[in-house]
Amino acid sequence: MSLTNAKNNIYLKKLKNILSSDLDFHNFSSNYGSHNFHSFPAKFPPQLPQKFILELTEYNDIVLDPMVGSGTTILEGLFNNRNTIGFDIDPLALMITKVKTTFYNKNKLIDSFNNIASQATSLLNNSDELLSSYYNNLDVTTKEFINYC
């Protein structure tokens, strides 16, 4: 038996073991990491791809998901120190997966939030001025409509 055949047999045995094991994850939580950032149809529990990843791949291996959906498999790959590649035909699925798998610097994120909040506060403090300049730029019909309301 060649080395490749021997390896394939090992993976086949492992796969059979996984498929005949308990794959019911109803009582497990998916509320960790960024898994629940966004809803998506037909999401499966993260424990499912996690089991396949842990038992069929090694540290630093590549996990390829050609139909990423909302990225559950890709996320589990990252959480378990695998390199990941994902594709999808749906741009929304790709965007959700990108957001869920992007690592942010927490301090930078807090700085950005504070910056946005202080700009919003200063806009609110000048809201009378802003509203009147906005109102002055409206056309006559829109002004009539607003005044009617």
Ligand X SMILES: C[S@@+](CC[C@H](N)C(=O)[O-])C[C@H]1O[C@@H](n2cnc3c(N)ncnc32)[C@H](O)[C@@H]1O
Q: For residues 85 and 146, which CB has a smaller minimum distance to ligand X in the complex?
A: 85
| 33 and 79 Cβ atoms separated by less than 8 Å | yes
Q: For residues 26 and 106, which CB has a smaller minimum distance to ligand X in the complex?
A: 26
Shortest CB 70 distance to ligand X, Å:
5
| 36 and 57 Cβ atoms separated by less than 8 Å | no
Residue nearest ligand X, CB atom distance: 69
Q: Which residues bind ligand X (CB under 6 A)?
A: 42-43, 49, 65, 67-73, 87-90, 93
Q: For residues 3 and 42, which CB has a smaller minimum distance to ligand X in the complex?
A: 42
Q: For residues 71 and 82, which CB has a smaller minimum distance to ligand X in the complex?
A: 71
38/36 Cα distance (integer angstroms): 5
Shortest CB 87 distance to ligand X, Å:
6
What would the two tokens of residue 7 be? 């390896």
Residues 6+ apart with CB under 8 A from 96: 37, 38, 40, 70, 71
138/78 Cα distance (integer angstroms): 51
Shortest CB 5 distance to ligand X, Å:
29
Q: Which residues pair with 65 in a beta bridge?
A: 86
| 46 and 80 Cβ atoms separated by less than 8 Å | no
Shortest CB 17 distance to ligand X, Å:
21
